[in-house]
A and B are shown apart, each in its own frame.
Chain A
Amino acid sequence: MTLLKNREVLLALAILLLVILVAARFPAFVQPGNLVNVFNDTSPLILLAIGQMIVILTKCIDLSVAANLALCGMVAALMNGAGVPLPVILLLVVALGGVLGAVNGLLVWKLGIPSIVVTLGTMTIYRGIIFLMTNGAWVNAHQMTDAFKALPRTLIAGLPVMSWVAIVAIALFTVLLTRTPLGRAFYAVGGNPHAAVYTGINVGRTQFVAFVIAGALAGLTGYLWVARYAVAYVDIADGFELSVVAACVIGGVAIAGGAGSVAGAVLGALFLGVINNALPVVGISPFWQLAISGSAIVVAVAFNSSLNRKTGRIILKPVETK
């Protein structure tokens, strides 16, 4: 029974149920090849959701992740056009993403501006920079080298590199959050910032680190996205930040901070991924897809808050049985 009270387990069961329902009508959906495709499709969302989850843990939010992704993706495409070797491009996009995240983090840390305001601003600024760099021009497939486009699709042990990146990130950040002092600090800062200060934790710096992590992940995803879809322009991943936040919320990450897990964020992302991939197969119109994704968010939040209420303070003692 305790297993059933675990929100991650429940979410996994919900996803399983969803997959079974779809499979009942379209058995092809559950063929291993297709499931791999679904996971691979969802990998960018997973990567960004992990970063966002860490930011939300510290009582902040990063609305600029999709713009960061687009800017880093464009820079990757332009560097590729200029003949920069691929390993250098990879390093630079991660670094650039980290720097863009650091800008958010510094504004939150040093100036004390609420993160929602900071990232609402930088979200527009980052997109604006892409426009300034390109004058709105697209970088198309024929302007990219083959090696640049091939990397995310390269198969290793039957899985594309893009999926492997997501898997490595899941493992890495699970360890970071559960097994290092930094991970513990994220939870402490979000759980009670005042108490964290008294415990010797630098709250602002911890939030800053969270933004840098989210930014670096967005930068890396920027390359993967542009290479996979073989196109870069100002508006790629437009509005994607909301799906990322949705994945976190569905995955049980408390928007007030202090509670959440990598597993939850990943499952939240997979839930949205399965819905997005399954509904067209079942023949549900795209208009319904939006409504269904939206309902899932509301249901998940309502569910999480009812789960939280049960863990409130127990005032009445249970009747002792002797």
Chain B
Amino acid sequence: MENVIELNNVTKSFKGFELKDLSISVKKGFVTGFIGGNGVGKSTTIKLIMNLLRPDSGEVSLFGMNYREHEKEIKQRIGFVFDNNILYENITLSEMKRIIKPAYKNWDDTIFQHYVNLFELPLKKQIKTFSKGMLMKASLTFALSHHAELIIMDEPTSGLDPIFRRELLDILHDIMQDGEKTIFFSTHITTDLDRIADYITFIHNGQHIFTKEHYKIEEDYAIVKGETNLLDRDTEREFIGIRRSNYGFEALTMNRQRTQNIFGNTVILEKPTLEDIMLYTKKGNDNYVESYS
């Protein structure tokens, strides 16, 4: 399958933070959800993909091209949706359009108008009077109006009400119908991913933990519950993170089948949520980092 985004061994360090040897690929025609806690490097990664930051080492390529030689061409093919407002506050939406339109060869007024109508956006009101939801809709409208093949969104659903989040997911499903477009978006609202994401890319502390098919996660990972006396130095190694209480333990395994073989019926195995995986990975990383291989 064709990769639209490829990061190969990318390293970027700031004071007190580092993306380490990050290799990620995003497949064409699918939706990839990008998860990880606060401050683990999600926004930095997106900025590297957008060429707003340059890697210290490693390669970033989009549509098989690099930014050094093909920046303009690449940017034409991307629609970018920010979480915070980058639209100028003191102008109206139609003035904003006049500024943005000339930058894109494939700008399409019909599509722009379609989304303005669909989202019931006012063209003549100053953007500073827009609500958070309207700003998001405006940002999305611009991202979709130039036939972009790749839509990148940084936290598009944060701060939005559940009804609009559902509408947004419907719109994204519509965009995906022809199989030619690709969506890459970061989010904290992991339930949104259950409704649309084909692949999940998870990073933690500047490192890539996994990229998996969404359904594969619940086949590999499981929440394990059992009596505390089952835990010893050997069995503990089965788990990424463990929570103990007076009543028993709860842990995360990344090898459901092996855990099942080891513990049999003495433990309960449950489907983990993406939040469980994020939580236990953080816990596990704090305790013993070497558990990843």
Partners in one complex: no
Name B residues whose Cβ lies closer than 8 Å to a Cβ of A.
none
Name A residues whose Cβ lies closer than 8 Å to a Cβ of B.
none
